Amino acid sequence: MKRFRSRARAAAVVIVAAASLMLTACNAIPSSGPVRAGAEDLQQAEQPVQFNAAGPAAGSSQEDVVRGFVLAAVSSADDYATAREFLAPDYAKQWDPSSNVLVDDGSRPYTANDDGSGTLEISAQAKVDAEGFMLPVEPGANTELRFELERVGGEWRIASAPNGIILDTTTFTTIWAPHQLYFVGPGEIMVPETRWFMTRAALPTEIVGALLGGPGERMSGVLHSGFPTGTTLVTGSVPIENGRAQIDLSGNLLEASPTAMAEVRQQLRLSLQTVQSVNGYDLSAEGTEIRSEARTDQGVPRLLNDVTDPALLVGDQFGTIVAGQFVAMTGFATSLSEYEPSAITLNADATAAAIRNAQGVTRVDALGVVPIDPRPGLLAPMFDVFDYVWTVQASSAQTLRATTRDGTVTDVPAPWLAGRTPVAVRLSPDGMRVAALVSDEQGSQVLVAGVERDAEGAPVRTTDEADVQLWTTGAPVDLDWVGQTRFAALSKVDATSRVTIGGVGLIPVEQGGVQGGAQVAGGSARSQLRVLSAKGDLYASQGSGWQRALTGIELLAKHG
């Protein structure tokens, strides 16, 4: 039932803007002197940062050998040849540096054990597996790594050690970088997966190889690849010629349907676009170039449109912020304040709203009003790109509910939420992932699971398990996505709400705090992120902190 209230004068909007420039010193550009030829091979010119690792010194102690081994693994030259010098000959052939990377804070206490072994205590922050997937490590509990040593020619050498390498955060982000690999979801929507790769000449080969391997295990039932099963690189590498990646795949590529071929091309184009040495690609099968896209492809999988302009309720008016000014929306949006909403979510193109109030969740659009979910204790509603309204009852979050405009209800199992009481549950903009903000013993955590759908996009279930993609201090307050792979978590520490930017396979970044922060709304970029305080002050992201932009705001809406 509608509940009306008297119209109130829209609160005065106070615009606060600030900007700053940072000038970075650099070497002066010479204005005179001889002309020098540039590098002929641009790929060769783009060399990664090289670290000169030192081998073992004569007479080194056990601790020196262990620490030297860990430090030497910063160099991957010749298959980590320098690091292997610290290993006993037999174990040097067994050690696998590619199995994982532990990213730590650099403090590594060493303990000499009674049995002659040594232990390094690692304060790990994240772990990257062999496929390039990163997961954060729960704070608080350190990881103990055991090293067994023996004498070889009178010198201490490591006879057994954990596989993988250890890098501090600064070194890791210098050598490694995240890249988005794109796969295809229902509705021919392109969905990125974040993978970490070492920055080196083999990067194009590794990215194409990862695409051929398909989406990761967690998303294997959610996304697919256009490449036919068993497709491989003919030569095992992707050379770069004049800035173009030469991708020669096995002959079964020719078995791909026109739709699949369009997916293949879009996957390659989007996944290689962040490689600096690549500005395009040429595709072939067993040496035969696949020339005409127009003849072989039907349709192109789509990228989602960016969400812009934060939406909010000011007095009895609902609108957006455009160039720092509040602009009231027309049409169905003029009635939103009449429902006395406690939460508003807009669909992707802002043609419909899902409203939570004392009566539950209701859908409002130009065609009218549709009751969606009358249950008490509902979290803020969600829209997906297939026009479903999603609702979650905090006390029974293990079953999500998706409802069409005609009232068709689908219960979506989310077993990973059993026994949990989330504060916020949000779908990613592409609708292929769902994140939940929950409390834990240390503060708050964000769990992310995949959403499995049928070919038409109807939700079926979520994945059985979810990954913890963020741990942060403070009690959970609110959550929203920032683009397809990142999210912003709001957690309360004393009177301040801390903002942490995390993501699927990304290193969390503290974004400062807002006094009394109560709601957060994301967009497609951090610059579109907004936080609303309990007093009605709206804050915009400003560098590593927050700048008050508006006052007198009653409600901050979310998109999707």
**pLDDT by residue (tens digit) across 109-131?**
999 999 999 999 999 999 999 99
Q: The domain spanning residue 83 has which CATH number?
A: 3.10.450
pLDDT at 25: 34
Q: In which band, very low, low, confident or very high, does the pLDDT at 541 lie, cut at 50, 70 and 90?
A: confident
The vertex-533 CA angle with 531 and 534, nearest 5°, equals 145
Is 279 inside any structural domain?
yes
Name 152's Cβ contacts closer than 8 Å, sequence gap at least 6.
Answer: 88, 89
Mean pLDDT of 473-487: 96
pLDDT at 50: 64
Is 193 inside any structural domain?
yes
Report the number of distinct structural domains present in the chain: 3
pLDDT at 527: 78
Which domain-ending residue is among 163, 183, 209?
Answer: 163
For residue 280, give its domain range.
174-296
Q: In which band, very low, low, confident or very high, does the pLDDT at 293 lie, cut at 50, 70 and 90?
A: low
pTM, rounded to two decimals: 0.88
Mean pLDDT of 307-325: 87
Are 220 and 250 within one domain? yes
Are 412 and 493 within one domain? yes
Name 208's Cβ contacts closer than 8 Å, sequence gap at least 6.
Answer: 233, 238, 245, 247, 268, 271, 272
Is 367 inside any structural domain?
yes
Calpha distance 125→169 (Å, rounded): 8
Q: In which band, very low, low, confident or very high, does the pLDDT at 323 lie, cut at 50, 70 and 90?
A: confident
Q: Which two tokens stand for residue 410?
A: 């689908």
Are 276 and 343 within one domain? no
More confidently predicted of 311 and 8:
311
Calpha distance 203→196 (Å, rounded): 10
pLDDT at 523: 81
| Cα separation values, 173 from 14, 128, 216, 260, Å | 40, 12, 22, 35
Q: What is the pLDDT of residues 20-52, one digit of tens each?
A: 323 233 333 333 333 333 333 333 333 356 677
Is 120 inside any structural domain?
yes
Are 375 and 231 within one domain? no
Instruction: Decide: 128 and 116 in contact? Cβ < 8 Å.
Output: no
> What's the mean pLDDT when you consider all of the chain?
89
Instruction: Decide: 179 and 271 in contact? Cβ < 8 Å.
Output: yes
Instruction: Decide: 340 and 3 in contact? Cβ < 8 Å.
Output: yes
> Closest Cα partner for 502 from 444, 442, 560?
444
Which domain-ending residue is among 296, 331, 347?
Answer: 296
Query: If DSSP states are collapsed to H, E and C, what string results for 271-289?
Result: HHCCCCCCCEEEEEECCEE
Are 389 and 532 within one domain? yes
Name 101's Cβ contacts closer than 8 Å, sequence gap at least 6.
Answer: 127, 128, 164, 165, 166, 167, 172, 176, 196
Q: The domain spanning residue 468 has which CATH number?
A: 2.130.10.10
Are 432 and 461 within one domain? yes
What is the percentage of the chain residues whose pLDDT exceeds 90?
81
Calpha distance 114→62 (Å, rounded): 13
Residue 300 has pLDDT above 90, yes or no: no
Are 265 and 335 within one domain? no
Q: In which band, very low, low, confident or very high, does the pLDDT at 325 lie, cut at 50, 70 and 90?
A: confident
What would the DSSP string read from start to end of 478-507?
A: EEEEETTTEEEEEEEETTEEEEEEEETT--
Are 115 and 202 within one domain? no
Are 284 and 407 within one domain? no
Are 450 and 520 within one domain? yes
Residue 389 has pLDDT above 70, yes or no: yes
pLDDT at 157: 98
Q: What is the pLDDT of residues 180-223, one digit of tens each?
A: 999 999 999 999 999 999 999 999 999 999 999 999 999 999 99
Is 306 inside any structural domain?
no
Which domain-ending residue is among 296, 330, 355?
Answer: 296
pLDDT at 49: 60
Q: In which band, very low, low, confident or very high, does the pLDDT at 292 lie, cut at 50, 70 and 90?
A: low
Is 55 inside any structural domain?
no
Mean pLDDT of 380-402: 97
Are 379 and 493 within one domain? yes
Is 131 inside any structural domain?
yes
Q: What is the pLDDT of residues 253-266, one digit of tens each?
A: 999 999 999 999 99
Is 43 inside any structural domain?
no
Are 213 and 71 within one domain? no
